[in-house]
Amino acid sequence: MAIVLKPKAKEQADLVPDGSYQAQVSKIHQFQNAYGERIGFEFTLKDRAVAGLKVMRSTSTQLSASGKLADVLRGILGRELTAAELSKGIDVDSLVGMECGVLVLQTKSKNGNTYSNVERIFPTAS
């Protein structure tokens, strides 16, 4: 009898329809990939039709006023970063639990898989 071993099938993440959603920062973690050291921001969506689904945005770990990381932080905080935050850094763990808005667009990866990409993070409307 032949024994056939197969690779583990990748789980397809739930796709989120394109649109703007209310979200909460649910997890922040550092990791490394082909682009180098990264920081990942996980958002749990709160809108009824997609409540509980998670989407992620990652950026470089280098903080500069004009970088993508600063864009993400401004969106979550709802304000500009202070000079002290830009020069000394910011404790991103303190952002877990904060509410914000996210713009999600379905995007194809280089290997052809479709995923829900967080294009932009913005402050929640008051």
Residue 63 lies in a domain: yes
Supply the pLDDT for residue 81.
Answer: 96
Compute the average pLDDT of residues 39-45.
97
Residue 12 confidence (pLDDT) above 80: no
Residue 126 confidence class, pLDDT cut points 50, 70, 90: low
Supply the pLDDT for residue 102.
Answer: 98
What is the extent of the structural domain holding 88? 19-122
Residue 5 lies in a domain: no
- Residues of the chain with pLDDT > 90, as a percent, come to 78
- Model confidence over 109-124: pLDDT tens digits? 888 889 999 999 999 8
Name all contacts of 7-10 with Cβ < 8 Å and 24+ positions apart: 10/113
Which two structure tokens, joined as six digits, stand for 7? 């690779």
Q: Give the Å distances, CA to CA, from 96 to 6, 66, 112.
A: 38, 23, 31
Closest CA to 95 of 28, 20, 40, 23: 28
Which two structure tokens, joined as six digits, stand for 123? 């402050």
Residue 73 lies in a domain: yes
The structure tokens 């600063």 sit at 70
CATH code for the domain in which residue 93 is found: 2.40.50
Residue 28 lies in a domain: yes
Residue 27 lies in a domain: yes
Mean pLDDT for all residues in the chain: 91
> In the chain, what is the greatest distance between 2 CA atoms, to the nearest angstrom?
69
- Residues of the chain with pLDDT > 70, as a percent, come to 94
Residue 64 lies in a domain: yes
Q: What is the DSSP letter of 64?
A: -
Residue 105 lies in a domain: yes
Compute the average pLDDT of residues 16-43.
95
Q: Residue 40 in contact with residue 57, Cβ under 8 Å?
A: yes
Structural domain count, the chain: 1
Residue 3 lies in a domain: no
Supply the pLDDT for residue 1.
Answer: 64
Q: Which comes out higher in pLDDT, residue 11 or 63?
A: 63
3-state SS, residue 86: helix
Supply the pLDDT for residue 14.
Answer: 79
d(Cα 93, Cα 109) in Å, to the nearest integer? 28
